Amino acid sequence: MAATPSNTFVSPPHSVTVQGAYEPFDLQVARNQIMGHDHIDLFGYSTAVGSTAMGPLWEGLTSSGGNYPFPGSAGTISVVSASASDTAVTMLISGLNASFVPITESVALNGTTAVVTTQSFLRINNVTTTAGNAVGNVTFTRGATVIAQVNAGIGQTQMSVYTVPAGYTLYITYFQGDGNTTTTSGAFMNTRLRTTQNPSGVVLVSGQATYLNNLTVAYGVPFALTEKTDFEFQFQGSGGAGARQNCYVGGYLIKNDSQTP
């Protein structure tokens, strides 16, 4: 799940250290005790990693790979379940508007009848269930393109995809990938970080690596991604279609002017 920055902090927001107590920095951030700081916990998972091309982990990944379909403009989102019985389920969409400013919207499902958001989303960073439990896969479509999906029984999106909000910098501190291409000898997994800078459209690929089953990276110096940057941790296996892969990305989302509440 990816955190969405909130303008609501403890009033007044401050570290417990001002009272002579000590608490780990990570815990203080998680408790909204440090102004202008939020945390990101990004979980990606797929059973469809193939050997054809790199692709990010998300519910729409196929064995053919391919980059995530970031929309070119903002628009309303159509939400629908594959099960007609999903009528007592509410999901919270966390994303960005046309100006890359964080927005959220709560959507009550209406089974196989599509529900359209009232707000226009440029990006979806995360979807989380807030009431009920969907028994069908729930898709989130922009135009004719599915840009997010919550699988039955999971309750939230599982995407190694994120866009940094306007006015923030994301500092990645940790990455972990675990995968299995096949059980045959010599199988391996490739991974890389692909970023797109907006509005320039400049694409950068960094952090490329090959590993067998597990890769863990603890950044000695956090890796900074500037505002409005799309990023995706992509994967490709060597053992054919159908590999399972998960990844976890952790870091801090910090307001560029941390003195401004």
Among the listed ranges 5-9, 34-38, 148-152, 215-219, which one has the minimum average pLDDT value? 5-9
Number of Cβ within a 10 Å radius of residue 6: 10
Q: What is residue 25's predicted lDDT score, i.e. its pLDDT? A: 86
pLDDT tens by residue, 91-143: 999 999 999 999 999 999 999 999 999 999 999 999 999 999 999 999 999 99
Q: What is residue 6's predicted lDDT score, i.e. its pLDDT? A: 53
pLDDT tens by residue, 159-218: 999 999 999 999 999 999 988 765 555 567 889 999 999 999 999 999 899 888 889 999
Q: What is residue 241's predicted lDDT score, i.e. its pLDDT? A: 62
Q: What is the mean pLDDT of residues 12-18?
A: 61
**E strand spans, the chain:** 37-49, 55-56, 78-81, 90-96, 102-108, 115-116, 123-131, 138-142, 145-150, 161-163, 168-180, 189-197, 202-211, 214-225, 229-237, 243-255
Reply yes or no on whether the pLDDT at 8 is more than 50.
no
pLDDT tens by residue, 52-103: 899 999 999 988 899 999 999 999 999 999 999 999 999 999 999 999 999 9
pLDDT tens by residue, 33-45: 888 999 999 999 9
Q: What is residue 89's predicted lDDT score, i.e. its pLDDT? A: 97
Q: What is residue 32's predicted lDDT score, i.e. its pLDDT? A: 84
Domain ranges of the chain: 16-60+162-255, 78-149
Q: What is residue 17's predicted lDDT score, i.e. its pLDDT? A: 61
pTM: 0.87
29 or 147, which is more confident? 147
**Residue 261: pLDDT band with limits 50, 70, 90:** very low
Q: What is the mean pLDDT of residues 2-30?
A: 66
Per-residue buried b or exposed e for 213-242, using 16+ beta carbons within 10 Å of the residue's own CB: eebebeeeeebebebbbbbbbbbbbebebe
Considering the segment(s) 16-60+162-255 as one domain, its CATH architecture is Sandwich (2.60)
In contact, 67 and 232? CB cutoff 8 Å: yes
Reply yes or no on whether the pLDDT at 31 is more than 90.
no
pLDDT tens by residue, 245-259: 899 999 999 999 855
Q: Could you tell me which residues come within 8 angstroms of residue 119 by beta carbon, excluding any fewer than 6 positions away?
A: 76, 97, 103, 105
Measured CA to CA, the distance from residue 16 to residue 62 in angstroms comes to 47
